[in-house]
Amino acid sequence: MKRKVGLVGRREGEWIHVGGIDPLYLKAQVEPSVIVRIDLRMADNEEVCIYCVGPGLHGLIPAMWAKLSISDGPHIDALCLLQGGTLAVSST
């Protein structure tokens, strides 16, 4: 599994190279009310913006670059990881 830190305790992160990470997921450890904005830049330089609400694992489209920011809500305790690979789903 490949994993890169996308955002830690800041309002806005830097562009991160995520090319080759497929499938691409956002693992957000944020407050339930937080809205995370994900800017994705494709190989052809097309940009796509996706919003995710609250904590959890959010599927993303494959991209070359990603930039995360907290669009709304507290950012101090935010931890957001960009990761790929096979994810195990637990049954309870």
pLDDT confidence of residue 2: 87
pLDDT confidence of residue 90: 41
Residue-by-residue DSSP string for 1-65: --EEEEEESSSB---EE-TT--SEEEEEE--TT-EEEEEEE-TTS-EEEEEEESSEEEEE---SE
The domain ranges of the chain are 3-84
Better-scored residue on pLDDT, 46 or 85 = 46
**Global pTM value:** 0.87
pLDDT of 11-35, one tens digit each?
999 999 999 998 999 999 999 999 9
Looking at the domain 3-84, which fold is it?
A: Jelly Rolls (2.60.120)
